[in-house]
Chains A and B, each alone.
Chain A
Protein backbone atom coordinates (compact mmCIF):
# COMPACT_ATOMS: atom_id res chain seq x y z
CA UNK A 1 0.00 0.00 0.00
CA UNK A 2 2.82 2.35 0.88
CA UNK A 3 4.66 1.82 -2.38
CA UNK A 4 1.47 2.13 -4.30
CA UNK A 5 0.60 5.48 -2.69
CA UNK A 6 4.13 6.77 -3.09
CA UNK A 7 3.93 6.18 -6.79
CA UNK A 8 0.46 7.55 -6.82
CA UNK A 9 1.38 10.78 -5.12
CA UNK A 10 4.86 11.57 -6.33
CA UNK A 11 5.32 9.94 -9.67
CA UNK A 12 2.05 9.67 -11.39
CA UNK A 13 0.68 13.14 -11.16
CA UNK A 14 1.24 13.81 -14.82
CA UNK A 15 0.78 10.35 -16.19
CA UNK A 16 -2.22 9.03 -14.36
CA UNK A 17 -3.59 5.84 -15.78
CA UNK A 18 -7.25 5.45 -16.14
CA UNK A 19 -7.37 2.25 -14.14
CA UNK A 20 -5.56 3.72 -11.09
CA UNK A 21 -7.45 5.67 -8.46
CA UNK A 22 -6.64 9.38 -8.57
CA UNK A 23 -5.02 11.10 -5.65
CA UNK A 24 -8.01 13.28 -5.03
CA UNK A 25 -10.13 10.16 -5.01
CA UNK A 26 -8.10 8.75 -2.21
CA UNK A 27 -7.70 11.78 -0.06
CA UNK A 28 -10.69 13.83 -0.90
CA UNK A 29 -13.35 11.24 -1.20
CA UNK A 30 -15.69 12.60 1.39
CA UNK A 31 -16.87 9.25 2.56
CA UNK A 32 -13.45 7.67 2.77
CA UNK A 33 -12.04 10.75 4.44
CA UNK A 34 -14.84 10.83 6.94
CA UNK A 35 -14.43 7.16 7.84
CA UNK A 36 -10.66 7.29 8.10
CA UNK A 37 -10.80 10.63 9.87
CA UNK A 38 -13.26 9.40 12.43
CA UNK A 39 -11.25 6.28 13.12
CA UNK A 40 -8.13 8.26 13.55
CA UNK A 41 -9.85 10.79 15.77
CA UNK A 42 -11.13 7.96 17.93
CA UNK A 43 -7.64 6.62 18.26
CA UNK A 44 -6.27 10.10 18.90
CA UNK A 45 -8.91 10.82 21.53
CA UNK A 46 -8.29 7.50 23.21
CA UNK A 47 -4.61 8.30 23.45
CA UNK A 48 -4.97 11.93 24.28
CA UNK A 49 -7.54 11.48 27.00
CA UNK A 50 -5.65 8.57 28.51
CA UNK A 51 -3.01 8.71 31.18
CA UNK A 52 -1.84 12.35 31.37
CA UNK A 53 1.65 11.22 32.22
CA UNK A 54 1.98 9.53 28.83
CA UNK A 55 -0.24 11.52 26.56
CA UNK A 56 2.31 14.00 25.28
CA UNK A 57 4.84 11.34 24.68
CA UNK A 58 2.39 9.10 22.87
CA UNK A 59 0.98 11.85 20.71
CA UNK A 60 4.45 13.07 19.89
CA UNK A 61 5.44 9.56 18.93
CA UNK A 62 2.42 9.10 16.68
CA UNK A 63 2.95 12.39 14.93
CA UNK A 64 6.67 11.93 14.53
CA UNK A 65 6.19 8.46 13.15
CA UNK A 66 3.62 9.80 10.75
CA UNK A 67 5.92 12.55 9.59
CA UNK A 68 8.79 10.13 9.13
CA UNK A 69 6.72 7.85 6.96
CA UNK A 70 5.25 10.74 5.05
CA UNK A 71 8.64 12.16 4.20
CA UNK A 72 9.92 8.73 3.19
CA UNK A 73 6.99 8.33 0.90
CA UNK A 74 5.54 5.51 2.97
CA UNK A 75 2.43 7.34 4.05
CA UNK A 76 -0.80 5.45 3.83
CA UNK A 77 -4.17 6.82 2.82
CA UNK A 78 -5.01 6.94 6.46
CA UNK A 79 -1.93 8.98 7.21
CA UNK A 80 -2.85 11.42 4.49
CA UNK A 81 -6.22 11.79 6.05
CA UNK A 82 -4.55 12.80 9.27
CA UNK A 83 -2.78 15.56 7.42
CA UNK A 84 -6.00 16.72 5.95
CA UNK A 85 -7.48 17.15 9.40
CA UNK A 86 -6.80 20.80 10.33
CA UNK A 87 -6.49 20.05 14.04
CA UNK A 88 -4.01 17.28 13.55
CA UNK A 89 -2.12 19.17 10.90
CA UNK A 90 -1.65 21.96 13.39
CA UNK A 91 -0.46 19.46 15.96
CA UNK A 92 2.09 18.13 13.52
CA UNK A 93 3.37 21.60 12.77
CA UNK A 94 3.48 22.58 16.45
CA UNK A 95 5.25 19.39 17.38
CA UNK A 96 7.84 19.94 14.67
CA UNK A 97 8.46 23.49 15.83
CA UNK A 98 8.64 22.41 19.48
CA UNK A 99 11.15 19.70 18.70
CA UNK A 100 13.28 22.05 16.63
CA UNK A 101 13.26 24.60 19.48
CA UNK A 102 14.16 21.95 22.02
CA UNK A 103 17.02 20.77 19.86
CA UNK A 104 18.25 24.35 19.48
CA UNK A 105 18.04 24.98 23.23
CA UNK A 106 19.83 21.72 23.95
CA UNK A 107 22.59 22.66 21.58
CA UNK A 108 22.91 26.06 23.22
CA UNK A 109 23.11 24.49 26.69
CA UNK A 110 25.67 21.98 25.44
CA UNK A 111 27.76 24.86 24.08
CA UNK A 112 27.46 26.74 27.37
CA UNK A 113 28.41 23.61 29.27
CA UNK A 114 31.49 23.16 27.11
CA UNK A 115 32.46 26.82 27.48
CA UNK A 116 31.88 26.67 31.24
CA UNK A 117 34.78 24.26 31.76
CA UNK A 118 37.81 26.45 32.20
CA UNK A 119 41.48 25.52 32.33
CA UNK A 120 42.06 27.70 35.41
CA UNK A 121 39.40 25.74 37.31
CA UNK A 122 40.95 22.45 36.26
CA UNK A 123 44.29 23.68 37.58
CA UNK A 124 42.78 24.87 40.88
CA UNK A 125 40.75 21.67 41.38
CA UNK A 126 43.85 19.53 40.85
CA UNK A 127 45.68 21.50 43.52
CA UNK A 128 43.03 21.81 46.18
CA UNK A 129 40.35 19.15 45.84
CA UNK A 130 41.07 15.63 46.93
CA UNK A 131 38.58 14.08 44.52
CA UNK A 132 40.20 15.64 41.48
CA UNK A 133 43.83 15.65 42.66
CA UNK A 134 44.61 12.09 41.43
CA UNK A 135 43.84 13.23 37.88
CA UNK A 136 45.95 16.38 38.02
CA UNK A 137 48.62 16.50 35.34
CA UNK A 138 47.26 13.59 33.30
CA UNK A 139 46.91 16.14 30.51
CA UNK A 140 47.81 19.79 30.53
CA UNK A 141 45.03 21.97 31.97
CA UNK A 142 43.92 23.41 28.64
CA UNK A 143 43.70 20.00 27.04
CA UNK A 144 41.87 18.49 30.02
CA UNK A 145 39.27 21.29 29.91
CA UNK A 146 38.89 20.67 26.19
CA UNK A 147 38.48 16.89 26.57
CA UNK A 148 35.95 17.30 29.39
CA UNK A 149 34.11 20.01 27.48
CA UNK A 150 33.77 17.92 24.33
CA UNK A 151 32.70 14.85 26.29
CA UNK A 152 30.06 16.73 28.25
CA UNK A 153 28.87 18.45 25.07
CA UNK A 154 28.26 15.04 23.50
CA UNK A 155 26.57 13.75 26.64
CA UNK A 156 24.24 16.73 26.68
CA UNK A 157 23.27 16.16 23.04
CA UNK A 158 22.47 12.54 23.97
CA UNK A 159 20.38 13.64 26.99
CA UNK A 160 22.74 11.80 29.32
CA UNK A 161 22.02 12.46 33.03
CA UNK A 162 25.73 13.08 33.72
CA UNK A 163 25.53 16.14 31.50
CA UNK A 164 22.54 17.40 33.48
CA UNK A 165 24.49 16.85 36.71
CA UNK A 166 27.47 18.76 35.34
CA UNK A 167 25.22 21.54 34.08
CA UNK A 168 23.52 21.95 37.47
CA UNK A 169 26.79 21.83 39.39
CA UNK A 170 28.38 24.49 37.15
CA UNK A 171 25.27 26.67 37.37
CA UNK A 172 25.39 26.44 41.16
CA UNK A 173 29.08 27.29 41.22
CA UNK A 174 28.58 30.21 38.84
CA UNK A 175 25.74 31.59 40.96
CA UNK A 176 27.79 31.27 44.17
CA UNK A 177 30.79 33.02 42.58
CA UNK A 178 28.59 35.82 41.33
CA UNK A 179 27.04 36.26 44.75
CA UNK A 180 30.47 36.28 46.37
CA UNK A 181 31.61 39.00 43.97
CA UNK A 182 28.52 41.06 44.84
CA UNK A 183 29.03 40.63 48.57
CA UNK A 184 32.70 41.52 48.31
CA UNK A 185 31.85 44.62 46.29
CA UNK A 186 29.27 45.51 48.93
CA UNK A 187 31.85 45.07 51.70
CA UNK A 188 34.34 47.23 49.81
CA UNK A 189 31.77 50.01 49.49
CA UNK A 190 31.03 49.84 53.21
CA UNK A 191 34.70 49.92 54.13
CA UNK A 192 35.22 52.84 51.79
CA UNK A 193 32.28 54.67 53.35
CA UNK A 194 33.72 53.97 56.77
CA UNK A 195 36.96 55.58 55.67
CA UNK A 196 35.15 58.60 54.21
CA UNK A 197 33.25 59.06 57.48
CA UNK A 198 36.52 59.49 59.25
CA UNK A 199 37.68 61.94 56.62
CA UNK A 200 34.59 64.15 56.86
CA UNK A 201 35.74 66.03 59.88
CA UNK A 202 39.19 66.50 58.41
CA UNK A 203 37.59 67.84 55.22
CA UNK A 204 35.59 70.33 57.27
CA UNK A 205 38.68 71.51 59.03
CA UNK A 206 40.49 71.86 55.74
CA UNK A 207 37.71 74.10 54.46
CA UNK A 208 36.25 71.65 51.93
CA UNK A 209 32.87 71.74 53.67
CA UNK A 210 30.86 74.58 55.11
CA UNK A 211 29.47 74.11 58.63
CA UNK A 212 25.99 73.74 57.10
CA UNK A 213 27.11 71.03 54.67
CA UNK A 214 28.87 69.19 57.46
CA UNK A 215 25.76 69.30 59.68
CA UNK A 216 23.61 67.94 56.86
CA UNK A 217 26.06 65.15 56.25
CA UNK A 218 26.09 64.28 59.94
CA UNK A 219 22.28 64.19 60.03
CA UNK A 220 22.20 61.93 57.03
CA UNK A 221 24.70 59.58 58.65
CA UNK A 222 22.79 59.56 61.93
CA UNK A 223 19.64 58.62 60.06
CA UNK A 224 21.49 55.74 58.46
CA UNK A 225 22.95 54.68 61.80
CA UNK A 226 19.42 54.50 63.22
CA UNK A 227 18.34 52.27 60.36
CA UNK A 228 21.32 50.03 60.88
CA UNK A 229 20.67 49.86 64.58
CA UNK A 230 17.10 48.72 63.96
CA UNK A 231 18.45 46.12 61.59
CA UNK A 232 20.88 44.98 64.24
CA UNK A 233 18.17 44.68 66.88
CA UNK A 234 15.96 42.60 64.62
CA UNK A 235 18.63 40.24 63.33
CA UNK A 236 20.59 39.79 66.57
CA UNK A 237 23.68 39.16 64.56
CA UNK A 238 26.02 36.43 65.68
CA UNK A 239 29.06 38.57 65.06
CA UNK A 240 28.35 41.26 67.55
CA UNK A 241 27.27 38.78 70.17
CA UNK A 242 30.51 36.90 69.75
CA UNK A 243 32.48 40.03 70.49
CA UNK A 244 30.23 41.71 72.99
CA UNK A 245 30.13 38.65 75.22
CA UNK A 246 32.21 38.33 78.33
CA UNK A 247 30.84 39.00 81.69
CA UNK A 248 33.15 36.80 83.64
CA UNK A 249 30.46 35.40 85.92
CA UNK A 250 28.32 34.38 82.98
CA UNK A 251 31.33 32.77 81.39
CA UNK A 252 32.05 30.77 84.51
CA UNK A 253 28.42 29.65 84.74
CA UNK A 254 28.47 28.48 81.16
CA UNK A 255 31.77 26.72 81.65
CA UNK A 256 30.48 24.91 84.71
CA UNK A 257 27.37 23.85 82.86
CA UNK A 258 29.28 22.57 79.86
CA UNK A 259 31.84 20.81 82.03
CA UNK A 260 29.05 19.08 83.94
CA UNK A 261 27.48 17.93 80.70
CA UNK A 262 30.71 16.52 79.46
CA UNK A 263 31.85 15.19 82.81
CA UNK A 264 30.87 11.59 82.09
CA UNK A 265 33.55 8.93 82.32
CA UNK A 266 35.77 8.81 79.26
CA UNK A 267 34.99 12.40 78.31
CA UNK A 268 37.27 14.09 80.79
CA UNK A 269 40.17 14.72 78.43
CA UNK A 270 37.95 16.16 75.74
CA UNK A 271 36.22 18.29 78.31
CA UNK A 272 39.52 19.75 79.49
CA UNK A 273 40.50 20.57 75.93
CA UNK A 274 37.20 22.32 75.40
CA UNK A 275 37.52 24.24 78.66
CA UNK A 276 40.76 25.58 77.39
CA UNK A 277 39.18 26.76 74.16
CA UNK A 278 36.34 28.39 76.09
CA UNK A 279 38.82 30.19 78.32
CA UNK A 280 40.70 31.46 75.28
CA UNK A 281 37.53 32.72 73.72
CA UNK A 282 36.54 34.28 77.01
CA UNK A 283 39.63 36.45 77.04
CA UNK A 284 39.04 37.58 73.50
CA UNK A 285 35.51 38.47 74.47
CA UNK A 286 36.74 40.23 77.56
CA UNK A 287 39.05 42.29 75.42
CA UNK A 288 36.22 43.32 73.16
CA UNK A 289 33.93 43.99 76.11
CA UNK A 290 36.39 46.37 77.71
CA UNK A 291 36.85 48.35 74.56
CA UNK A 292 33.31 48.53 73.28
CA UNK A 293 31.26 48.48 76.46
CA UNK A 294 29.23 45.55 75.06
CA UNK A 295 26.78 43.66 77.20
CA UNK A 296 26.13 39.95 77.45
CA UNK A 297 24.18 37.35 79.35
CA UNK A 298 24.58 33.69 80.25
CA UNK A 299 22.09 32.79 77.53
CA UNK A 300 24.16 34.60 74.91
CA UNK A 301 27.31 32.84 76.04
CA UNK A 302 25.60 29.47 75.81
CA UNK A 303 24.26 30.35 72.38
CA UNK A 304 27.76 31.15 71.14
CA UNK A 305 29.10 27.91 72.58
CA UNK A 306 26.38 26.01 70.86
CA UNK A 307 27.23 27.66 67.51
CA UNK A 308 30.90 26.85 67.92
CA UNK A 309 29.89 23.30 68.87
CA UNK A 310 27.87 22.98 65.68
CA UNK A 311 30.81 24.15 63.64
CA UNK A 312 33.00 21.56 65.33
CA UNK A 313 30.48 18.86 64.49
CA UNK A 314 30.50 19.81 60.82
CA UNK A 315 31.20 16.74 58.73
CA UNK A 316 33.76 18.17 56.34
CA UNK A 317 37.19 19.33 57.40
CA UNK A 318 37.29 21.48 54.28
CA UNK A 319 34.42 23.62 55.64
CA UNK A 320 36.38 24.24 58.75
CA UNK A 321 39.59 24.92 56.86
CA UNK A 322 37.71 27.50 54.83
CA UNK A 323 35.93 29.10 57.75
CA UNK A 324 38.68 29.52 60.28
CA UNK A 325 41.29 31.55 58.35
CA UNK A 326 38.54 33.74 56.95
CA UNK A 327 37.28 34.28 60.49
CA UNK A 328 40.82 35.19 61.62
CA UNK A 329 41.08 37.63 58.77
CA UNK A 330 37.80 39.27 59.71
CA UNK A 331 38.83 39.57 63.33
CA UNK A 332 42.21 41.06 62.38
CA UNK A 333 40.48 43.38 59.94
CA UNK A 334 38.05 44.61 62.58
CA UNK A 335 40.83 45.31 65.04
CA UNK A 336 42.84 47.19 62.43
CA UNK A 337 39.83 49.29 61.41
CA UNK A 338 38.86 50.36 64.89
CA UNK A 339 40.87 53.25 66.18
CA UNK A 340 40.01 52.59 69.81
CA UNK A 341 41.22 49.01 69.55
CA UNK A 342 44.36 50.02 67.74
CA UNK A 343 45.16 52.69 70.29
CA UNK A 344 44.56 50.23 73.14
CA UNK A 345 46.57 47.41 71.60
CA UNK A 346 49.32 49.36 69.85
CA UNK A 347 50.16 49.85 66.20
CA UNK A 348 51.44 46.29 65.78
CA UNK A 349 47.88 45.01 66.05
CA UNK A 350 47.21 46.61 62.66
CA UNK A 351 48.90 43.66 61.01
CA UNK A 352 47.33 41.02 63.22
CA UNK A 353 44.81 39.79 60.66
CA UNK A 354 47.45 39.63 57.97
CA UNK A 355 49.88 37.79 60.25
CA UNK A 356 47.21 35.27 61.25
CA UNK A 357 46.31 34.49 57.66
CA UNK A 358 49.93 34.27 56.54
CA UNK A 359 50.73 31.89 59.34
CA UNK A 360 47.61 29.87 58.62
CA UNK A 361 48.75 29.36 55.05
CA UNK A 362 52.32 28.54 56.03
CA UNK A 363 53.43 25.00 55.13
CA UNK A 364 54.95 24.59 58.63
CA UNK A 365 51.49 24.84 60.22
CA UNK A 366 50.04 22.25 57.89
CA UNK A 367 52.97 19.90 58.48
CA UNK A 368 52.85 20.48 62.21
CA UNK A 369 49.12 19.73 62.42
CA UNK A 370 49.45 16.68 60.24
CA UNK A 371 52.42 15.23 62.15
CA UNK A 372 50.74 15.98 65.47
CA UNK A 373 47.64 14.06 64.46
CA UNK A 374 49.65 11.17 63.09
CA UNK A 375 51.80 11.01 66.23
CA UNK A 376 48.67 10.90 68.38
CA UNK A 377 47.23 8.14 66.29
CA UNK A 378 50.39 6.08 66.47
CA UNK A 379 50.51 6.55 70.21
CA UNK A 380 46.94 5.34 70.54
CA UNK A 381 47.65 2.30 68.41
CA UNK A 382 50.55 1.41 70.72
CA UNK A 383 48.59 2.09 73.85
CA UNK A 384 45.55 0.02 72.92
CA UNK A 385 46.73 -3.02 70.93
CA UNK A 386 43.93 -5.21 72.27
CA UNK A 387 41.27 -2.72 71.34
CA UNK A 388 42.86 -2.27 67.94
CA UNK A 389 42.87 -6.03 67.31
CA UNK A 390 39.24 -6.36 68.39
CA UNK A 391 38.31 -3.52 66.07
CA UNK A 392 40.17 -5.21 63.23
CA UNK A 393 38.30 -8.49 63.71
CA UNK A 394 34.97 -6.74 63.90
CA UNK A 395 35.81 -4.76 60.75
CA UNK A 396 36.62 -7.99 58.87
CA UNK A 397 33.10 -9.24 59.62
CA UNK A 398 31.48 -6.08 58.31
CA UNK A 399 29.53 -6.63 55.03
CA UNK A 400 30.92 -3.39 53.61
CA UNK A 401 34.46 -4.65 54.26
CA UNK A 402 33.63 -7.85 52.42
CA UNK A 403 32.42 -5.83 49.47
CA UNK A 404 35.53 -3.63 49.53
CA UNK A 405 37.78 -6.69 49.61
CA UNK A 406 35.80 -8.35 46.86
CA UNK A 407 36.27 -5.25 44.70
CA UNK A 408 40.00 -5.79 45.03
CA UNK A 409 39.73 -9.53 44.30
CA UNK A 410 40.80 -10.41 47.83
CA UNK A 411 39.38 -13.51 49.50
CA UNK A 412 40.12 -13.74 53.20
CA UNK A 413 40.22 -17.54 53.23
CA UNK A 414 42.67 -17.60 50.36
CA UNK A 415 45.02 -14.64 50.74
CA UNK A 416 47.66 -14.26 48.03
CA UNK A 417 51.19 -13.03 48.80
CA UNK A 418 51.15 -9.38 49.78
CA UNK A 419 47.38 -9.27 50.25
CA UNK A 420 47.48 -9.54 54.05
CA UNK A 421 49.41 -6.27 54.21
CA UNK A 422 46.88 -4.64 51.93
CA UNK A 423 44.03 -5.75 54.20
CA UNK A 424 45.84 -4.41 57.28
CA UNK A 425 46.53 -1.10 55.57
CA UNK A 426 42.86 -0.84 54.63
CA UNK A 427 41.93 -1.30 58.25
CA UNK A 428 44.58 1.25 59.26
CA UNK A 429 42.86 3.84 57.07
CA UNK A 430 39.46 2.88 58.42
CA UNK A 431 40.76 3.08 61.99
CA UNK A 432 42.20 6.51 61.43
CA UNK A 433 39.05 8.01 60.02
CA UNK A 434 36.31 6.12 61.86
CA UNK A 435 37.70 4.95 65.17
CA UNK A 436 40.08 7.72 66.14
CA UNK A 437 37.95 10.59 65.02
CA UNK A 438 40.67 11.93 62.76
CA UNK A 439 38.49 14.80 61.69
CA UNK A 440 37.66 15.84 65.25
CA UNK A 441 41.34 15.73 66.20
CA UNK A 442 42.31 17.97 63.32
CA UNK A 443 39.61 20.45 64.17
CA UNK A 444 40.61 20.62 67.79
CA UNK A 445 44.21 21.21 66.74
CA UNK A 446 43.07 23.99 64.45
CA UNK A 447 41.14 25.74 67.19
CA UNK A 448 44.15 25.46 69.52
CA UNK A 449 46.42 26.85 66.85
CA UNK A 450 44.04 29.65 66.03
CA UNK A 451 43.72 31.01 69.53
CA UNK A 452 47.38 30.51 70.25
CA UNK A 453 48.23 32.48 67.13
CA UNK A 454 45.78 35.22 67.92
CA UNK A 455 46.92 35.67 71.48
CA UNK A 456 50.56 35.48 70.51
CA UNK A 457 49.84 38.43 68.28
CA UNK A 458 49.53 40.51 71.43
CA UNK A 459 52.69 41.76 73.05
CA UNK A 460 53.56 40.76 76.61
CA UNK A 461 52.66 44.29 77.66
CA UNK A 462 49.17 43.85 76.24
CA UNK A 463 48.81 40.43 77.81
CA UNK A 464 49.72 41.90 81.15
CA UNK A 465 47.34 44.84 80.65
CA UNK A 466 44.51 42.47 79.83
CA UNK A 467 45.53 40.02 82.58
CA UNK A 468 45.82 37.10 80.17
CA UNK A 469 47.40 34.17 82.04
CA UNK A 470 50.67 32.82 80.64
CA UNK A 471 49.23 29.34 80.03
CA UNK A 472 46.68 30.60 77.53
Chain B
Protein backbone atom coordinates (compact mmCIF):
# COMPACT_ATOMS: atom_id res chain seq x y z
CA UNK B 1 0.00 0.00 0.00
CA UNK B 2 1.31 3.46 -0.86
CA UNK B 3 1.75 6.16 1.73
CA UNK B 4 -0.59 8.31 -0.35
CA UNK B 5 -3.43 5.84 0.15
CA UNK B 6 -2.79 5.74 3.90
CA UNK B 7 -2.80 9.53 4.05
CA UNK B 8 -5.97 9.62 1.99
CA UNK B 9 -7.75 7.21 4.37
CA UNK B 10 -6.56 9.16 7.40
CA UNK B 11 -7.66 12.48 5.90
CA UNK B 12 -11.08 11.20 4.87
CA UNK B 13 -11.74 10.14 8.49
CA UNK B 14 -10.11 13.16 10.12
CA UNK B 15 -12.03 15.62 7.90
CA UNK B 16 -15.33 14.21 9.06
CA UNK B 17 -14.29 14.22 12.71
CA UNK B 18 -13.18 17.83 12.41
CA UNK B 19 -16.74 18.90 11.58
CA UNK B 20 -18.22 16.68 14.26
CA UNK B 21 -19.53 14.06 11.83
CA UNK B 22 -18.69 11.04 13.97
CA UNK B 23 -21.18 8.82 12.22
CA UNK B 24 -19.69 9.64 8.83
CA UNK B 25 -16.17 9.13 10.18
CA UNK B 26 -17.13 5.72 11.50
CA UNK B 27 -18.74 4.78 8.19
CA UNK B 28 -15.58 5.78 6.32
CA UNK B 29 -13.45 3.88 8.81
CA UNK B 30 -15.55 0.76 8.33
CA UNK B 31 -15.69 1.10 4.57
CA UNK B 32 -11.93 1.52 4.15
CA UNK B 33 -10.64 -0.70 6.93
CA UNK B 34 -9.89 -3.55 4.54
CA UNK B 35 -7.60 -1.29 2.52
CA UNK B 36 -5.28 -0.83 5.49
CA UNK B 37 -2.17 -3.03 5.76
CA UNK B 38 -2.61 -6.06 8.02
CA UNK B 39 -0.20 -4.74 10.66
CA UNK B 40 -2.14 -1.46 10.92
CA UNK B 41 -5.41 -3.41 11.18
CA UNK B 42 -3.84 -5.52 13.92
CA UNK B 43 -2.61 -2.43 15.76
CA UNK B 44 -6.11 -0.89 15.68
CA UNK B 45 -7.76 -4.06 16.98
CA UNK B 46 -5.22 -4.96 19.65
CA UNK B 47 -6.22 -2.73 22.59
CA UNK B 48 -10.01 -3.30 22.29
CA UNK B 49 -9.31 -7.02 21.96
CA UNK B 50 -7.20 -7.12 25.12
CA UNK B 51 -9.81 -5.11 27.06
CA UNK B 52 -12.54 -7.45 25.88
CA UNK B 53 -10.60 -10.59 26.79
CA UNK B 54 -10.15 -9.17 30.28
CA UNK B 55 -13.86 -8.41 30.53
CA UNK B 56 -14.73 -11.90 29.31
CA UNK B 57 -12.33 -13.46 31.82
CA UNK B 58 -14.06 -11.50 34.59
CA UNK B 59 -17.46 -12.70 33.37
CA UNK B 60 -16.41 -16.34 33.28
CA UNK B 61 -14.81 -16.00 36.72
CA UNK B 62 -18.13 -14.72 38.09
CA UNK B 63 -19.83 -17.77 36.55
CA UNK B 64 -17.29 -20.02 38.27
CA UNK B 65 -18.14 -18.40 41.60
CA UNK B 66 -21.81 -18.94 40.94
CA UNK B 67 -21.20 -22.54 39.94
CA UNK B 68 -19.42 -23.10 43.25
CA UNK B 69 -22.45 -21.75 45.05
CA UNK B 70 -24.66 -24.06 43.00
CA UNK B 71 -22.56 -27.06 43.99
CA UNK B 72 -22.67 -26.07 47.64
CA UNK B 73 -26.44 -25.58 47.28
CA UNK B 74 -26.90 -29.06 45.80
CA UNK B 75 -24.84 -30.63 48.58
CA UNK B 76 -26.84 -28.84 51.21
CA UNK B 77 -30.08 -29.91 49.60
CA UNK B 78 -28.84 -33.46 49.89
CA UNK B 79 -28.50 -32.97 53.65
CA UNK B 80 -31.84 -31.25 53.98
CA UNK B 81 -33.51 -34.13 52.19
CA UNK B 82 -31.88 -36.60 54.55
CA UNK B 83 -33.08 -34.63 57.53
CA UNK B 84 -36.57 -34.29 56.16
CA UNK B 85 -36.57 -38.01 55.47
CA UNK B 86 -35.59 -38.72 59.07
CA UNK B 87 -38.31 -36.41 60.39
CA UNK B 88 -40.88 -38.03 58.15
CA UNK B 89 -39.80 -41.46 59.38
Contacts and interface: CB of A to CB of B under 8 A. Distances in A.
Contact of A173 (B21, B48, B53, B82): B53
Contacts of A197: 78
A154 B39 CA distance: 9
Contacts, number: 176
A137 B27 CA distance: 12
Contacts of B75: 190, 228, 231-232
Interface in B32-49: 33-34, 38-39, 41-49
Contacts of B54: 169, 172
Interface residues of B, number: 54
A162 B46 contact: yes
Interface stretch (A73-81, A174-182, A204-212): A174-182
Contact of B73 (A134, A239, A410): A239
Contact of B71 (A117, A151, A187): A187
B6 interface: no
A238 interface: yes
A108 interface: no
A148 B42 CA distance: 5
Interface of B: 17-21, 26, 30, 33-34, 38-39, 41-64, 66-82, 84, 87
Nearest to A197: B78
Interface stretch (A42-50, A250-258, A330-338, A427-435): A330-338
Contacts of B30: 137-138
Contact of B43 (A151, A183, A322, A337): A151
Q: A-side binding surface: helix, strand, loop or mixed?
A: helix
A238 B69 contact: yes
Top 3 closest pairs, chain A to chain B, by CB = A151-B42, A183-B67, A176-B60
Q: Counting chain B CB atoms within 10 Å of each CB, which of A121, A169, A177 scores highest? A: A169
A201 B74 CA distance: 20
B41 A147 contact: yes
A131 interface: yes
Contacts of A151: 38-39, 41-43, 45-46
Q: Counting chain A CB atoms within 10 Å of each CB, which of B26, B63, B70, B78 scores highest? A: B70
Interface stretch (A64-72, A264-272, A415-423, A447-455): A415-423
Contacts of B51: 131-132
Given A184-B67, A318-B55, 13 more contacts: A132-B49, A135-B45, A169-B53, A172-B57, A190-B71, A190-B75, A228-B75, A232-B75, A239-B73, A293-B84, A322-B59, A326-B66, A340-B84
B41 A139 contact: yes
A231 B73 CA distance: 12
Contacts of B76: 228, 232, 237, 239-240
B50 A166 contact: yes
A4 interface: no
Given A169-B57, A222-B82, A330-B66, A418 B19 contact: yes
A412 to B, nearest CB: 14
Q: Counting chain A CB atoms within 10 Å of each CB, which of B44, B56, B71 scores highest? A: B56
Contacts of B21: 418
